[in-house]
Amino acid sequence: MKKLFALAVASALVVSACGAGSSTVVATVDGREVTLGEVNGLMDPQGSTVSKEIFAQFLGFQIQWGIVERAAKELYGIEVTDDEVLAEADRIYEATNEEETREEFTANRGVTEDFLLNIARQGLLDIAVRAELEKELTPPTEEHIANEMANAIASLTQVCVSHILVATAEEADDVVARLDAGEEFGTIAGEVSQDPGSGANEGVLPCASAGQYVPEFRDASLIAPIGEVYSEVVESQFGFHIMLVTDRQDPAEEEIPTDEEVSASLLSQRVAIELERWFSDQVEASDVVVNEEYGSWSVSPPGVTPPVA
């Protein structure tokens, strides 16, 4: 649903529909007619000729907007006023225009004020439906928050690590024995490490966020002593790692999110998933018929496929 809004706002168009009368029915959505005039009213072609592809795209927008508006009202009693829509359109314009008048803002994007108002209305419906879906979800558990907090800290921690990667535990034991006997870490890495990227560089990996590594390697990089070969051999999906952390930069306290922020982020992610599912369900449940002269309706992904030339 949110992707639809972003796509619509981002569209740079050279379009206009012509030929048939504005009252021509181009589609029906659950029995409600969508006319040619409605779709044309979204586009500011500035004298250019409409393409079938662009008209189909805008018809698809109009159909999806209608589905969302109907479902929001029927399922949750959600309605937005014209004043709310106008205020949201003003906010969109003020937040995204670049020294353009309102007319230039829409015209330069090939759309009309009606299109902007529709985007504003759908944005408000999006927020309201999210709020309803959030009511149906249970808050994240303490364990889930703790795990996500650990992931966040790992992503914010910069580590500089060298490693020697071998295929078997026996090979790892041999490497440890050679290190204990006083051989240089880099020399051994150059001889036996199976990491093609770091092996030729004495096992040295680029300094990076610990969060980019596989879990076993990440966790070890966060607790291994700096400047000493880590006492444990770390097994991952890639094999067995003998690790040497040479530097580690922990995040500043103000960079670490609070439990409340982590909880809100987790809940927001779940709501986004539920919103996509809700939107797909409404699209699938709707009876959409497109006049074949203007294209055909597709449920997944939702939209109008233009007619064959």
DSSP assignment string, 139-187 = PPPHHHHHHHHHHHHHHH-EEEEEEEEESSHHHHHHHHHHHHTT--HHH
Least confident of 17-21, 117-121, 126-130, 131-135: 17-21
Instruction: Say what the pLDDT of residue 4 is.
Output: 43
Long-range contact list for 130-133, CB < 8 A, 24+ apart?
A: 130/271, 130/275, 132/75, 132/76, 132/78, 133/271, 133/274, 133/275, 133/278
Q: What percent of the chain has pLDDT over 90?
A: 85
pLDDT band at 210 (very low <50, low <70, confident <90, very high): very high
The answer to whether residue 12 scores a pLDDT higher than 60 is no
Instruction: Say what the pLDDT of residue 44 is.
Output: 85
Cα–Cα distance between 152 and 261 in angstroms, integer? 11
Instruction: Say what the pLDDT of residue 34 is.
Output: 96
Length of the chain: 309
pLDDT digits 0-9 by tens, 28-65: 999 999 999 999 999 987 766 778 999 999 999 999 99
The answer to whether residue 6 scores a pLDDT higher than 80 is no
Instruction: Say what the pLDDT of residue 297 is.
Output: 97
Instruction: Say what the pLDDT of residue 98 is.
Output: 76
pLDDT digits 0-9 by tens, 240-250: 999 999 999 99
Instruction: Say what the pLDDT of residue 20 is.
Output: 55
Domain extents in the chain: 2-138+261-305, 158-249
- 244 against 19, higher pLDDT: 244
Q: Which CATH number fits domain 2-138+261-305: 1.10.4030, 1.10.3470, 2.20.28, 2.30.30?
A: 1.10.4030
Distance of CA 277 to the CA centre of its chain: 15
Instruction: Say what the pLDDT of residue 47 is.
Output: 64
Cα–Cα distance between 82 and 169 in angstroms, integer? 69
The answer to whether residue 5 scores a pLDDT higher than 80 is no
What is the CB neighbour count within 10 angstroms for residue 160? Answer: 17
Q: Which residues are paired to 289 by β-bridges?
A: 28
Instruction: Say what the pLDDT of residue 42 is.
Output: 95
Q: What percent of the chain has pLDDT over 70?
A: 92
Q: Which residues are paired to 165 by β-bridges?
A: 241
pLDDT band at 21 (very low <50, low <70, confident <90, very high): low
Instruction: Say what the pLDDT of residue 15 is.
Output: 36
Q: Which residues are paired to 297 by β-bridges?
A: 304
Instruction: Say what the pLDDT of residue 49 is.
Output: 75
The answer to whether residue 3 scores a pLDDT higher than 90 is no
The answer to whether residue 83 scores a pLDDT higher than 70 is yes
**Is the domain defined by 158-249 classed in CATH 2.40.50.140?**
no
Instruction: Say what the pLDDT of residue 97 is.
Output: 76
pLDDT band at 90 (very low <50, low <70, confident <90, very high): very high
Q: What is the average pLDDT value for the chain, to the nearest integer?
A: 91
